[in-house]
Chains A and B, each alone.
Chain A
Amino acid sequence: MRELFDNTIRAILADQLSPEQVIAAEGGEFSRALWNSLEENGVPLALVAEDHGGVAASLTDVCGLIITCGEFSAPLPIVETMLANYLLARKGLPPLNGVVSFAAGDELVVNAGGVSGSVANVPWGRHADLILAPAGQSLVVLATGSASRCEEMTNTAGEARDTLFFDGATPEQTIVLDGLASELLLLTGALIRSAQTTGAIMRVLTLAKDYANERVQFGKPIGRFQAVQHQMALLAEQAAMAKASCEVAFARSAMEFHEDSITAAKICAADAAGVAASVSHGVHGAIGFTHEYTLHISTRRLWSWRSEFGSATYWCRRLGDKVCKSGAEQFWPGVVEGGFPSPV
């Protein structure tokens, strides 16, 4: 199934998403035609059970698909929608219709008067029909139309990251969880951003490699200079590390989100992002610093995505605290098992 997904998404994005469209999206446009095409191909329902109209794929099956969305800088919340539907499916609930997004920060308050409070950093919030947001142990589904206000903001790449305000809104659904909803949404967001980051790293690696083979200085392609080769090797190593950590996180989260594997993926991808952006710009010289050349489309997303749903520092501290609390004797067993007990 995985290869089919990879090929389908790559074909759609290569065919229907131009760099101009990505830039236009930064100006606030929503790529409706692309969205419709993704919808027709069942992408929002990939992880949903067959009796709800999906194909019941596993997270491992969609790892490559999400990486590819990152590679193409897909300027819409297709991955967010797919995962939101997955979270509902895990509760046996049917998928949502339309464009869905979610955010992990802030806390909404639910009482007799409805849902109140704000949700910040909602990816593509202004374009979404529905969002998932945390309210303590409850995951609430809200129509964006029920928001009292939308404060528009953008990340470093100009992607919409809006704050939605609710003032006694009536939720479409309220789903009670075993744990904190913010935690579930944070892990979900960290998982997908790691994969998208990996995709963007793969793109800048390819751009830099091709450029290094083409650009001639001192009578030969710059890719023949050892200094350039070694920089590219460092970039490739980081790409490999990001990719490997993502594969593990998706595979191990098949049954339940695997916290420490997702943490490792977010850290490795975020660290790799900085190296990838720096090396790919270095190799490209001045041309890569222009708006016309497409390198910045990916590097500015690297600079954004690495810090969304928890920066490397956030996840490092969280993991480091657990490791220190579980103690030296537990360290190696924890590495082998891929997880450390949460502090009580």
Chain B
Amino acid sequence: MFIEQFRYHPIPAEAEALRAEVRAFVAEHTAHMSLRQRADSWMGFDADFSRKLGERGWLGMALPRRYGGAEASAFSRYVVIEELLAAGAPVSAHWFSDRQSGLQILHHGSEAQREQFLPAICRGECYFCIGMSEPGSGSDLASIKSKAEKNDQGWLLNGQKVWTTNAHRSHYMIALVRSGESESRHGDMSQFIVDLTLPGITVRPIKDLTGSEHFNEVFFDNVQLPPEALLGKEGEGWSQVTGELAMERSGPERFLSCLILMQAMIAEIGANADALQQREVGRLTARLMTLRQMSLAVTHLLDQGENPSVAASCVKDLGAVFEQELPEIAQLLCDVEPTQSGGSDLAQVMAYLTQQAPSFSLRGGTREILRGIIARGLGLR
């Protein structure tokens, strides 16, 4: 059973050796940011910062050297991203490229695509967004309707994506669309690398509940894609996207979004915690330490080329519960009125993360979908 997969896999020494340098770099580059800005976790967008990470060799680390990567183990990247996330560094610009698009292109792309995109991804200059969801297709991703039809110049793309994080400031989208007629529900989909500057594409930001603009709707109106926009094999889109989702669900971003709040809360409580504060802080700490080790076990499996999708779903769902609990517990332990503007750092971070929390169990797959995957992993029929 997948529960057996949760063995102890400490970070190997050569990966751990990176930590001090990354931590110092991150501390220097986040010193000017307010606590509230750092609570933005992986939503903070700063192209300069992304380029600097690229210069350090900390992007696309797992990619082969000939494409600008470091051929490093998954653990090296783990050390880098967990330090970035823990400090609330602005990683959003390159996030999807580094986490999944680069690997997707490495695994499924042509040599020309690898040469075109991977070095730029490693430099922190090429940003991707993920085009999966559509207005009629959220959890039921296989029901998407956007369509690419073959023509003499390549593919003609029509349709709409929605909730596309960073589409308004990304260069490319990897889009999952229908590409033919097939009897099977999963058989006629393909992935395309869509250049977002092409004519016929409209990107409209959607304000989230806090009024910020992170996600978008993206319209495709007779967009002419060249033949080389196809990523991987025609008709293989579903299996490709399934692999991509495993990369999305296993990382430490699934339980570190609220770390800044945890720290602010500890600062507020001070050295003389009361019984309730001790108990809740202790419980959160124990869970966080364990979640991190679980995520390292999944990283080990990914590094070994295994498919830990059920174990990854466990980590993501437990991570979301943990992250969603944190603002609630902060409210329980600290007698502070949250504030949108003005007020203490803690008050602002609380207000911000309380509002963000609902999204933690939506993005990357809802809790119901993840629990369904786990139940299937248990063999419930």
Contact = CB atoms under 8 A, between A and B. Distances in A.
Interface in B240-286: 259, 262-264, 266-267, 269-273, 275, 277-283, 285-286
A245 B318 contact: no
Contacts of A38: none
A318 B283 CA distance: 10
Given A236-B374, A332-B263, A318 B282 contact: yes
B3 A320 contact: no
Contacts of B266: 323-324, 327-328, 331
A14 interface: no
Given A240-B314, A267-B286, A213 B381 contact: yes
A316 B282 contact: yes
Contacts of A183: none
A146 B275 CA distance: 40
Given A233-B375, A236-B3, A251-B8, A320 B263 contact: no
B279 to A, nearest CB: 4
Interface in B9-40: 10, 19
Contacts of A228: 380
Interface in B172-227: none
B16 to A, nearest CB: 9
A224 interface: yes
A321 B6 CA distance: 28
Contacts of A313: 279
B24 to A, nearest CB: 13
A244 B318 CA distance: 13
A250 B10 CA distance: 13
Contacts of B267: 327-328
B378 interface: yes
A172 interface: no
Contacts of B289: 245, 248, 260-261, 264, 335, 338
Interface string A297-331: 00000000000000011011111110111011101
A326 B270 CA distance: 9
Contacts of B263: 328-329, 331-332
Nearest to A319: B282
Contact of B290 (A251, A268, A320): A268
Interface residues of A, number: 59
A226 interface: yes
Nearest to A266: B286
A77 B367 CA distance: 41
B7 interface: yes
Given A247-B6, A316-B286, A336-B19, A229 B293 contact: no
B293 A244 contact: yes
A128 interface: no
B8 A236 contact: no
B93 to A, nearest CB: 23
Contacts of A338: 289
Contact of B281 (A261, A324, A335): A324
B379 interface: yes
Nearest to B370: A233
A234 interface: yes
Nearest to B377: A236
B380 A223 contact: yes
Contact of B7 (A202, A237, A247, A332): A247
Interface string B355-381: 000000000000010111011011111
A185 to B, nearest CB: 21
A245 B290 contact: yes
A232 interface: yes
A239 interface: yes
A212 interface: yes
Given A247-B6, A248-B293, A323 B285 contact: yes
B282 A321 contact: yes
A229 B283 contact: no
A244 B294 contact: yes
B317 interface: yes
A269 to B, nearest CB: 10
A205 B314 CA distance: 15
B290 A224 contact: no
Q: Which of the listed residues B281, B289, B371 has the most CB atoms from chain A within 10 Å of its own CB?
A: B289
Contacts of A317: 275, 278-279, 282
18 contacts: A202-B3, A233-B375, A237-B374, A244-B293, A244-B297, A248-B8, A252-B8, A263-B282, A264-B289, A268-B290, A316-B286, A317-B278, A319-B285, A324-B269, A324-B272, A324-B281, A335-B288, A338-B289
